[in-house]
Amino acid sequence: MTTLRLGTRRSALATTQSGLVADRLRAAGHTVELVEIVTEGDTNRAPLASMGGTGVFASALREALHEGRVDLAVHSLKDLPTAPEEGLVVAAVPPREDPRDALVARDGLTLGELPAGSRVGTGSPRRRSQLAALGLGLELVEIRGNVGTRLARVGEDLDAVVLALSGLARLGLTEQVSEAIDPLQVLPAPGQGALAVECREQDTRVRDALAPLDHPDTRAAVTAERAVLAALEAGCSAPVGALAEVVEDVDGPVLSLRAAVVAPDGGDELRRSLTGPLTEADALGDRLAQILLEDGADEIVAAASQTPTPSTTTSPERAL
Ligand SMILES: NCc1[nH]cc(CCC(=O)O)c1CC(=O)O
């Protein structure tokens, strides 16, 4: 059996995620070699939006796949642009980690316990707008950098940071989490907590090796979530949250899909939900997006794309 060359970014999270996939392939009898790929998202500290969004993480890995330098790549699914990439295929979507966002706050404070004026770091317009919409009077501060850099600022210049629980869980850092944020308050990014294992479309050897890693319930859920994003014509940096969960209905399992579109200052907020069969995940996401659009989501998305990200936003806690 020939070696499977797995392209990975070098951050702690990327190597952990790649290691998970490598372990599963090795357990199935394959030989796996990790190949490090440097992306602009890793070397450039500018806001992601100025580099074309989180797609910058995927593009260097995809280039390596196209050029045959690697045979597979593991992406955080939420960083993958929704448009399919010609010549490549997502051959496996492994079981999802917890999709929720996590609050890491000084003294273990929860969202409700953070006093007005607390400085909360997040680099994501989606988190920022939904946190602003809670009306807690938080000062939302733009941050970037890897998980370690963000966590180090808690108790220094920030009272708290919000990041993906899945990343912390994969790095074994959940003891630092003060609260897993309820999706009723902050809906996660489409695909958050899931991985996408990509390879060349024509490479049946690698496709066959990856097929057993696919988890159909996770694939259905992220398909519905990404369909919402695609139909809203919103990118990964848009203030759009979506979460699909497989729930038991009287006739068996169904997909329960929720989505939110929230203006950058938290003032305008649309939340809608739908339930449908797992086999029609794509259509379900598309229908939910149409409902959001009928109710004005396009205006919120358009306004958000014209609003430059300020370095801080203060959520409107109104005085009496
Ligand atoms: N945009 C950065 C990014 N891309 C993927 C993850 C990890 C979360 C995941 O597993 O989806 C993170 C970090 C974060 O959002 O805190």
**Mean pLDDT in residue range 118-138:** 95
Q: Which two tokens stand for residue 196?
A: 């996408």
Q: Mutate which of 51, 57, 79 to test ligand 1's pocket (most atoms within 8 Å of Cβ)?
A: 79
Work out the pLDDT band at 314, boundaries 50, 70, 90.
confident
Which of the 8 DSSP states describes residue 264?
Answer: T
* pLDDT score at 307: 73
**Mean pLDDT in residue range 56-85:** 93
**Mean pLDDT in residue range 16-31:** 98
* pLDDT score at 110: 97
* pLDDT 10s digits, 176-224: 999 999 999 999 999 999 999 999 999 999 999 999 999 999 999 999 9
Between the CA of 167 and the centroid of ligand 1 the distance, in Å, is: 6
For the chain, which domains are there?
3-94+194-215 (3.40.190.10), 101-189+308-314 (3.40.190.10), 221-306 (3.30.160.40)
pLDDT above 80 (res 42): no
Lowest model confidence (mean pLDDT) among 9-13, 109-113, 116-120, 195-199: 9-13
> Are the C-beta atoms of 76 and 21 separated by less than 8 Å?
no
Between the CA of 127 and the centroid of ligand 1 the distance, in Å, is: 12
- Top mean pLDDT of 24-33, 34-43, 234-243 is at 24-33
The mean pLDDT value of the chain amounts to 92
* pLDDT score at 16: 96
8 Cβ below 6 A of ligand 1? no
Q: For the chain, give the percent of residues with pLDDT over 90.
A: 79
> Are the C-beta atoms of 194 and 169 separated by less than 8 Å?
no
Which residues, including other chains, have CB under 8 Å from residue 297's CB and lie 6 or more apart?
Answer: 232, 261, 270, 289
Which of the 8 DSSP states describes residue 184?
Answer: T
Longest dimension (CA), the chain: 71
Q: Which of 128, 317, 139 is nearest to 240 (CA)?
A: 128
Work out the pLDDT band at 47, boundaries 50, 70, 90.
low
Amino acid occupying residue 223 = T
Q: Which of 70, 28, 76 is nearest to 56 (CA)?
A: 76
Between the CA of 5 and the centroid of ligand 1 the distance, in Å, is: 23
* pLDDT score at 45: 60
Q: Mutate which of 163, 176, 187 to test ligand 1's pocket (most atoms within 8 Å of Cβ)?
A: 163
* pLDDT score at 198: 98
Q: Which residues belong to the active site?
A: 79
Give this prediction's pTM. 0.92
237 Cβ below 6 A of ligand 1? no
**Mean pLDDT in residue range 150-157:** 96
* pLDDT score at 161: 98
Closest residue by CA, ligand 1 atom 9: 193
Q: How far lies 169's CA from each of 17, 146, 185, in Å?
A: 11, 15, 21
Computed on alpha carbons and rounded to an integer, the radius of gyration of the chain in Å comes to 19
167 Cβ below 6 A of ligand 1? yes
Q: How far lies 82's CA from each of 24, 110, 113, 116, in Å?
A: 26, 33, 37, 37
User: How far apart (Å, rounded) are the C-alpha atoms in residues 231 and 201?
Assistant: 25
Q: Which two tokens stand for residue 278?
A: 């797992």
166 Cβ below 6 A of ligand 1? yes
* pLDDT score at 49: 55
Lowest model confidence (mean pLDDT) among 42-51, 123-132, 148-157, 210-219: 42-51
* pLDDT score at 310: 73
Amino acid occupying residue 244 = A
Work out the pLDDT band at 48, boundaries 50, 70, 90.
low
**Mean pLDDT in residue range 248-257:** 95
Model ipTM value? 0.92
Q: Which H/E stretch holds residue 34?
A: strand 31-36
164 Cβ below 6 A of ligand 1? yes
222 Cβ below 6 A of ligand 1? no
* pLDDT score at 303: 81
Between the CA of 76 and the centroid of ligand 1 the distance, in Å, is: 7
**Index of the ligand 1 atom closest to the CA of residue 79:** 4
Closest residue by CA, ligand 1 atom 10: 193
78 Cβ below 6 A of ligand 1? yes
Between the CA of 264 and the centroid of ligand 1 the distance, in Å, is: 20
Between the CA of 320 and the centroid of ligand 1 the distance, in Å, is: 38
**Mean pLDDT in residue range 138-156:** 94
